Structure 1
Amino acid sequence: MSVGQGVERTGRFRTGCSCVGIDVHCHLVPARFPFPPGGGPVRGWPSMSPATDCHATVIIDEKPYRSVSDACWVAERRLEEMDRSGIAMQALSPMPELFGYWIEARAGCDLARYVNNVIASLVAEGEGRFVGLGGVPMQDIDLAIAELHRIVGELGFRGVEIGSNVNGVAIGDERFHPFFSEAEKLGAAVFVHAVRPAGMDRLVGPAPLQQILGYPSDVGFAAASVITGGLLQKLPRLRIAFSHGGGTFASLLPRLEQGYSVFPAVQDIMPEAPSLQARRLYVDSLVFDADMLRHLVAVFGEERVLLGTDYPFNFREKEPVARIEEAFADESLRERLTFANAQAFLALDEV
């Protein structure tokens, strides 16, 4: 399904609205959550506390986690904002705290299935303008693979969103390779988002610094672990993208490249230079800066940068198409970054 086909099918665009972007980084929160399995309390299980007609607060372990608007679960609200900001399609994924990796595995799987079913319902309401990137219980690889098969085979999702770490273990660790192997076989895209980042004890300041500084640091380590863990060597057809512009990885890559040329132990684990492997990764455009966006294209390549916003949260890129237009004058490059690269990453032309 191309962007043009989706636009023609829905007919939802206002007169004069030129909506072409595909947003690979936007989240969903259900309007409500079921009770935990078994009837008793389950540590880490979310609930929702209504605040106003259009806002609610996600509660985890009896503490407010985040206030969210109904744009998280109301299709019409999303579509209106998409029209305004030039977005033709969104890939819907869970708010990262809903991964539930820290929940007992079978209960975590129940949570993932519930959130994925909500995503599927919203995709149906979107009339061709939404696709799904579901969550899976990565704390249990067998359950994660089973849910991956369900969301791709039964729900028709284009792929999966996973965390930058699983309870502190880097995603490049060999124990997760069977999951990635299955994603490659299924042709499922993998979108990596920061979750519960390392190093929070080193930050001085208020809680939002977790999102501002902690997230990109953890994503950078996650991207590095995919290369140093040999994942891309084993699975060359895996389509994997990293949120927040790949975090700090673009800055870490020159050090990794130099270390590769200096330390035999690093060469032993990487038969191919890190800089070459890096150009097989995808990253989103969510860096809030035109110069940094140009740097991402230089590091990862013109075909590997995807439009991403972090919609519908307040800390997001509100003018994503305009940011790309600010950074690049070449029309063909703008088209790649705005929608063509995302079409390839999500395999939309195969629908």
Structure 2
Amino acid sequence: MSANDPVVDVHAHVLLPALQGVVQAADPEGFAAAADLEARRNGPESQAASGAMIRERFAKLTDLGARLAAMDDAGIDIQVVSPSPSHYYPWADAVLADRIARAASLATAELVAAAPARLLGLGLVPLQHPALLVPALEYAVLELGLAGVEISSSAGDVELSDERLEPFWARAEKLEAVVFLHPFGCTLDERLDRFYLANTVGQPTENAVALSHLIFSGVLDRHPGLRVVAAHGGGYLPGYLGRSDHAWRVRPEAHGCIEPPSSYLRRLWFDSLVHDAAGLRTLVGAAGADRVVLGSDFPFDMGVEDPVALVREAGLGEVAERAILSGSIRSLIPALSPALDRVVSP
């Protein structure tokens, strides 16, 4: 891309080992129970492989120089960095959860401040405690200058359709804050404990369920200015919306949104991380290229080393490619445009 069209990766993570240590010390029993659940959900083979993968990629997750060098190698001008979803800790009580969210947001802001021409950041909010969401969002966006926050697909008894989230959606809309929907774990639990199904099936399932809660409950009707971007291309939902539309037409309990569910894809944003050209073409056909932004899942092994090449392999045409690699981000994060115009590609 030219200097006027910098390539922006919206799906990149930072690991915060010090925060994990704080959480473990603050609630060792809760931390141990969560670790046991994660082990049961993933199974021993996946746990061992994931541990080795994290050790191998630890520098890219924690060291700014290693991150910037990898970005240069991949042709990425700007990363939108979010904490690893392992830092959600959805079991934490209100006091600890608020402390976690603010610490994660602060650490991310400090990383961004070390390379402001190359990085933007997203903070965290304690989704399991709806009353704490607005203050945590305002801290991340208004006090720290982050572009928005990252949330999971659910937390405890809180689904994204939960009425208790209405103040959060309203404030996020007002602030034009990005809400990055990135699941962690899957409630199918031990059914997915082999073959790495916990991730390969679990993550796209969670995305589809969470987005369906948003759509069918009318959240997007009540808050049309929301800037929600779904990781992993929105999971299974964009490729199978005919069934959702049919349910909306024939089932009264599925008629909580004003328009057919498929129409709401053009009110959301999606990252491009669908792993093959056919999947990306399907996503663009369902949502439009102007609603798809580049995503790599840096630096995890379920991401892609060269996300730009994957977009180009889809054969979408120059206009759509330019939208995904650079243009769509301007509508997702309007305040970013001046910064993009100042970026010079490496």
Counterpart contact for 1:306–1:339, Cα < 8 Å: yes
Counterpart check, 1:243 vs 2:245: no
Counterpart check, 1:103 vs 2:92: yes
Aligned residue number for residue 121 of structure 2: 132
Letter of the structure 1 residue corresponding to residue 125 of structure 2: V
Counterpart check, 1:163 vs 2:152: yes
Find the aligned partners of 2:253 and 2:20 in 1 and give their Cα distance: 50
Cα shift at 1:118: 1.3
Counterpart check, 1:209 vs 2:189: no
Counterpart check, 1:312 vs 2:299: yes
Point out the more displaced range, 61-70 or 214-223. 61-70
Larger RCO of the pair (alpha carbons < 8 Å, separation 6+):
2
Counterpart contact for 1:23–1:87, Cα < 8 Å: yes
Cα shift at 1:331: 1.3
Find the aligned partners of 1:71 and 1:196 in 2 and give their Cα distance: 22
Cα shift at 1:271: 1.8
Find the aligned partners of 1:110 and 1:305 in 2 and give their Cα distance: 33
Counterpart contact for 1:161–1:193, Cα < 8 Å: yes
User: Secondary structure, in 3 states, of the residue corresponding to 1:33?
Assistant: helix
Find the aligned partners of 2:31 and 2:316 in 1 and give their Cα distance: 47
Counterpart contact for 2:82–2:122, Cα < 8 Å: yes
Counterpart contact for 1:133–1:159, Cα < 8 Å: yes
Find the aligned partners of 1:280 and 1:327 in 2 and give their Cα distance: 23
Find the aligned partners of 1:81 and 1:319 in 2 and give their Cα distance: 10
Cα shift at 1:102: 1.0
Cα shift at 1:37: 7.5
Cα shift at 1:329: 4.8
Of 243, 268, 275, the match for 1:288: 275
Counterpart check, 1:115 vs 2:104: yes
Counterpart check, 1:264 vs 2:252: yes
% of aligned pairs identical?
Answer: 33
Cα shift at 1:22: 0.7
Aligned residue number for residue 28 of structure 1: 14
Letter of the structure 2 residue corresponding to residue 180 of structure 1: W
The alpha-carbon distance between structure 1 residues 287 and 329, as it changes in their structure 2 partners (threshold 3 A), is closer
Of 133, 143, 166, the match for 1:177: 166
User: Secondary structure, in 3 states, of the residue corresponding to 2:209?
Assistant: helix
Q: CA RMSD in A?
A: 2.5
Point out the more displaced range, 192-201 or 76-85. 192-201
Find the aligned partners of 1:165 and 1:31 in 2 and give their Cα distance: 24
TM-score, length of structure 1 as denominator length:
0.85
Of 78, 81, 88, the match for 2:77: 88
Letter of the structure 2 residue corresponding to residue 134 of structure 1: G
Find the aligned partners of 1:147 and 1:98 in 2 and give their Cα distance: 15
User: Secondary structure, in 3 states, of the residue corresponding to 1:87?
Assistant: coil
Find the aligned partners of 1:278 and 1:199 in 2 and give their Cα distance: 25
User: Secondary structure, in 3 states, of the residue corresponding to 1:180?
Assistant: helix
Cα shift at 1:265: 3.5
Counterpart contact for 2:269–2:292, Cα < 8 Å: yes
Find the aligned partners of 1:229 and 1:27 in 2 and give their Cα distance: 30
Aligned residue number for residue 340 of structure 1: 327
Counterpart contact for 2:23–2:100, Cα < 8 Å: no
The alpha-carbon distance between structure 1 residues 44 and 285, as it changes in their structure 2 partners (threshold 3 A), is farther
Aligned pair count reads 322
Aligned residue number for residue 137 of structure 2: 148
Find the aligned partners of 1:231 and 1:318 in 2 and give their Cα distance: 35
The alpha-carbon distance between structure 1 residues 133 and 38, as it changes in their structure 2 partners (threshold 3 A), is closer
Counterpart contact for 2:185–2:199, Cα < 8 Å: no
Aligned residue number for residue 197 of structure 1: 186
The alpha-carbon distance between structure 1 residues 209 and 265, as it changes in their structure 2 partners (threshold 3 A), is closer
Cα shift at 1:95: 0.8
Cα shift at 1:30: 1.8
Counterpart contact for 1:45–1:61, Cα < 8 Å: no
Q: Which structure dedicates a bigger proportion of its chain to strand?
A: 1
Residues 156-212 of structure 1: per-residue CA shift (max 9 Å, x gap): 101110001112532122221221111011110111001221213333614x32111
Find the aligned partners of 2:141 and 2:67 in 1 and give their Cα distance: 23
- Which 5+ residue runs of structure 2 have no aligned equivalent? 40-46, 340-346
Aligned residue number for residue 16 of structure 1: none
The alpha-carbon distance between structure 1 residues 325 and 107, as it changes in their structure 2 partners (threshold 3 A), is same
Residues 225-245 of structure 1: per-residue CA shift (max 9 Å, x gap): 100111001000001011111
